[in-house]
Structure 1
């Protein structure tokens, strides 16, 4: 009993609330650093102007920046969305997710087209395979996200199923997409233009951001599954 009161006291303290807001802000900053560094690499004077470099920009923008922001829309500590209503959060999430998906589709198409141009073999590396899985689940997530938005307002078994499906497909999409980005950063082509410390730092930043944004979806998933059992 005393322990529960202590936990509640800590959770309701100003220091704890401030810490959560600061942590959320730091995640936004790490997110931006990764994206800007990838763009800086893609537009740098040392790399050829190819579809592959456009693929880097579009895919990083889609996964690392926009899809992460779309997921963080529902985070209670998110600085720019915490004060708007739940319905408005859903609209903002839908809009950002649509834009992110458009960039991801374009980025994926550019990678496939570039591979065709050089007569290469598709989907052999971990980076390419994870990118394909991420692309597929991004499309699935957007489709059932629309269905959840339209038909998931009522607390029925069908709406709960749609929410669970959207949650899982979205998590798989962001995990595989960001893991694909990590494997892409780890490629020799990227490492030859960057110091090992920079590459490893970017990988850690991506992993930290991914771990943070998955907390809320996982908690929501557990809540949905509990509601299915009850």
Structure 2
């Protein structure tokens, strides 16, 4: 390598790092904005209505807790960058657990309401994608438990495969769940067509920026498998 190539490489890596931090900050702002807006919409609908709790719990479950749980493991994440790997994993588990409880409770409320009103289940695109997401949430949770004990079961399956399975099922659960939310962004519920379009745009950006760290980690694991 030429003497001047190393400084140039270091300079590029520094610029990329700054960009990652910038986009991570933007992502946190969008996550916060959409979460607050959906919470406001829920408040305006009235928390005395059960359906409001379905909207609120699923919204904060996916858009805040699941998104932030992914970001805790991202090296450029602003509020966990100085934590140890072990601390990041613990925060990741706590946020995901809260998100799962919120999502399953919110979905359970909707199922209860349909049962009470003698209505069919899982007929709309929103409901079907929500169900698929929940299936992958369960798979992700099981893979996560296996990943936690991956060193103890390495004689059965290599830890890298368990971790890849956890990442893949988690990504699918998160993406489909966010799509399910977006399918319910109607002008009536979001108070205008402009608000609906804004929320769909912000949700799309959040999905993309949230998965940057997970995709980078998976790419590194795939490279390790190919060696």
What is the TM-score with the length of structure 2 in the denominator?
0.89
Secondary structure of 2:48's counterpart equals: coil
> CA 1:95–1:48 in 2, change beyond 3 Å: closer, same or farther?
closer
List structure 1 segments (4+ residues) > 3 angstroms apart after TM superposition: 1-8, 16-19, 46-49, 152-157
Equivalent residue number for residue 170 of structure 2? 170
SS in 2 for 1:120: coil
Give yes or no for the alignment of 1:206 onto 2:208. Answer: no
Q: Is the 8 A contact 2:69 2:95 kept in 1?
A: yes
Q: Report if the CA contact (8 A) 1:115-1:122 is conserved.
A: yes
Quote the residue 1:40 is aligned against: 40
Total equivalences in the alignment: 224
Cα distance in structure 2, aligned partners of 1:66 and 1:12: 29
TM-score normalised over the length of structure 1: 0.88
Q: Specify every segment of 5 or more residues in structure 1 that has no aligned partner in the other structure, as ranges.
A: none
In structure 2, the CA distance between the partners of 1:151 and 1:117, relative to structure 1 (3 Å rule), is same
User: Could you tell which deviates more after superposition, 4-13 or 175-184?
Assistant: 4-13
Q: Deviations over 1:3-41 (max 9, x none)?
A: 97545422224xx54443232111111101111111111
CA shift at 1:189, angstroms?
4.5
- Is it true that 1:225 corresponds to 2:227 in the alignment? no
| 5+ residue gaps, structure 2 | none
Secondary structure of 1:74's match?
Answer: coil
In 1, Cα distance between equivalents of 2:196 and 2:130: 19
Q: What corresponds to 2:88 in structure 1?
A: 89
The equivalent residue for 1:139 is 138
The structural deviation recorded for 1:224 is 2.3
Match for residue 12 of structure 1?
Answer: 14
Aligned to 1:80: 79
